[in-house]
Amino acid sequence: MRGAVSQPGLVVACYGRQVLVETPAGTRTVCRMRGKKNDLIVGDHVHWVFTDHTGTEGVIDSVDVRRNLLYRQDERKTKSFAANLDQLIVLLAATPVFSEGQLARALIAAEHAGIASRIVLNKADLPQVDAARARLVPYTAMNIDVITTSMKVARETARSKLAPLLDGKTTMLLGPSGCGKSTLINLMAPGADAQVGEVSRALSSGRHTTTSTRWYWLDTRRTTALIDSPGFQEFGLRQIKASDLSGHMPDLRQHSRRCKFYNCSHRHEPGCGVRAALHRGEISASRMRLYDELWEELR
């Protein structure tokens, strides 16, 4: 079948040099990149052809330009989460206590990539939820939607809150371990385990599945997708210049227009609009601390 017309597909899993590509009709084929190139990521739109007569394997001809790419960049390596996302949901819980640094980093990476974000605060049935909610005040103040759920004890309420937010979209789900990611996936994705099992068998990646990005369809028409990925910890942001950092933090950005110097670092310059807002209590101390920390890391 060499020379056949290439067909469009969606990358739903990657494992080494193998990728699993799904056609618009829903059939999946294991494909490889031509040559040595291997920079495909879940969510990529590709064109591919069958390479064998049995029609079991394919090769990628081309990759469409990405609408966006969510990734983190640590000192040594870059880790891509997924491409062509409609939104990021950061899942947090009343307990374990979440790291505001990790939350802020994920939101900054999404903002940098041009991806909208929401926060879901789970385990609202636990008394620690009030403290968690209080720590999220700076985020609601910057117009980030915070949805509260109790996925374990109020399943139907949680489902009806989440469904309209996810409907028709491709959503990346990130969150620390223990916050309820698996609970959310099982609540929203029918046959989640079967979907994972099918991918593992296709890519013979059984023992690596816990460390890889997973694509879940939430509906049989395959219009709503949820992507689960490890790697919320150690969220490096080296793709961002220190001088651009405040531009990706809406609460700071809003006040940077009043800075005396157009290239103000908001660290020590006179006439800084951001520091003035901090002193007036219009920027939270924790957000300013995170900015200082990140700025030192990125400069």
Ligand X SMILES: Nc1nc2c(ncn2[C@@H]2O[C@H](COP(=O)(O)OP(=O)(O)O)[C@@H](O)[C@H]2O)c(=O)[nH]1
* Rounded distance between C-alpha atoms, residue 102 and residue 106, angstroms: 6
Question: Three-state SS for 84?
Answer: coil
Q: Which is nearer to Mg ion, 192 or 225 (CB)?
A: 192
* Among ligand X, Zn ion, Mg ion, none, residue 179 binds (CB under 5-8 Å by kind): ligand X
Q: Which listed residue (10, 104, 151, 278) binds ligand X by CB under 6 A?
A: 151
* Rounded distance between C-alpha atoms, residue 187 and residue 83, angstroms: 24
Q: Which part of the chain contacts Zn ion (CB under 5 A), choosing from 131-139, 186-194, 234-242, 268-276?
A: 268-276
Task: Kindly state whether residue 278 participates in binding Zn ion, applying the rule CB under 5 A.
Answer: no
Q: Which listed residue (38, 62, 140, 177) binds ligand X by CB under 6 A?
A: 177
Task: Kindly state whether residue 209 participates in binding Mg ion, applying the rule CB under 5 A.
Answer: no
Tally Cβ neighbours within 10 Å of residue 91: 24
Query: How far is residue 16 from each of residues 4, 20, 106, 203, measured CA to CA in Å?
Result: 26, 11, 25, 9
Q: Which part of the chain contacts ligand X (CB under 6 A), choosing from 33-41, 121-129, 234-242, 274-282?
A: 121-129
Task: Kindly state whether residue 183 participates in binding ligand X, applying the rule CB under 6 A.
Answer: yes
Q: Which part of the chain contacts ligand X (CB under 6 A), choosing from 29-37, 117-125, 130-138, 161-169?
A: 117-125
| Chain-centroid distance, C-alpha 50 | 31
Name the minimum Å distance from CB 151 to ligand X.
4
Task: Kindly state whether residue 266 participates in binding Zn ion, applying the rule CB under 5 A.
Answer: yes
* Rounded distance between C-alpha atoms, residue 263 and residue 214, angstroms: 41
Look-up: residue for tokens 């294991």?
30
Q: Which listed residue (181, 214, 248, 266) binds ligand X by CB under 6 A?
A: 181
The answer to whether the bond into 96 is cis (omega within 30° of 0) is yes
Task: Kindly state whether residue 255 participates in binding Zn ion, applying the rule CB under 5 A.
Answer: no
Name the minimum Å distance from CB 180 to ligand X.
4
Task: Kindly state whether residue 182 participates in binding Mg ion, applying the rule CB under 5 A.
Answer: yes
Using DSSP bridges, classify how beta strands 28-33 and 78-83 pair: parallel, antiparallel or unpaired.
Answer: unpaired
Q: Which listed residue (67, 152, 159, 267) binds ligand X by CB under 6 A?
A: 152
Task: Kindly state whether residue 286 participates in binding Mg ion, applying the rule CB under 5 A.
Answer: no
Beta-carbon contacts of residue 268 (< 8 Å; ≥ 6 apart): none
Contact 227/171 with Cβ under 8 angstroms?
A: yes
Question: Three-state SS for 63?
Answer: strand
| Residue 226 CB-density burial (10 A; 0-12 exposed, 13-18 middle, 19+ buried) | buried
* Among Zn ion, Mg ion, ligand X, none, residue 62 binds (CB under 5-8 Å by kind): none
Question: Binding marks (x or -) toward Zn ion, 53..92, rule CB under 5 A?
Answer: ----------------------------------------
| Residue 164 CB-density burial (10 A; 0-12 exposed, 13-18 middle, 19+ buried) | exposed
Task: Kindly state whether residue 180 participates in binding ligand X, applying the rule CB under 6 A.
Answer: yes
According to DSSP, the residues that pair with 57 across neighbouring strands are 30
Q: Which listed residue (264, 278, 283, 288) binds Zn ion by CB under 5 A?
A: 264
Token couple for 34: 């031509």
* Interacting residue ranges for Mg ion, rule: CB under 5 A: 181-182
* Interacting residue ranges for ligand X, rule: CB under 6 A: 122-123, 125-126, 150-153, 175, 177-183
